[in-house]
């Protein structure tokens, strides 16, 4: 019959492995998110440059849509909240 301490150690090891796996997955997702945010920002810059080039002679753009950048949103805080 297995000891209580042995069973607890098995459960602790399984939980630790799960945490390690989830941390690795979170790191991968964070890296993917950073790359996607960078790409989004590059497209936004390109659009603004095209707007500037195609703007009337006075340099202003008509009906220019303002899009907040990825760092301007309120979703930044929860991302860091789960880190130990």
40-82 confidence digits (pLDDT tens): 999 999 999 999 999 987 655 555 555 666 565 554 445 555 5
In contact, 33 and 3? CB cutoff 8 Å: no
**What's the whole-model pTM score?**
0.56
Domain ranges of the chain: 4-81
State the Cα angle at 44 between 42 and 45, rounded to 5°: 65
Q: Are 62 and 56 in contact (CB under 8 A)?
A: yes
């Amino acid at each position: 019959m297995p000891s209580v301490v042995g069973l607890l150690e098995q459960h602790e090891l399984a939980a630790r492995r799960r945490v390690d796996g989830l941390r690795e997955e979170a790191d991968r997702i964070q890296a993917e998110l950073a790359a996607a945010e960078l790409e989004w920002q590059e497209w936004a810059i390109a659009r603004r440059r095209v707007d500037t080039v195609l703007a009337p002679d006075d340099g202003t753009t008509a009906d220019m849509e303002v899009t907040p950048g990825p760092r301007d949103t309120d979703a930044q805080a929860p991302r860091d909240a789960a880190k130990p």
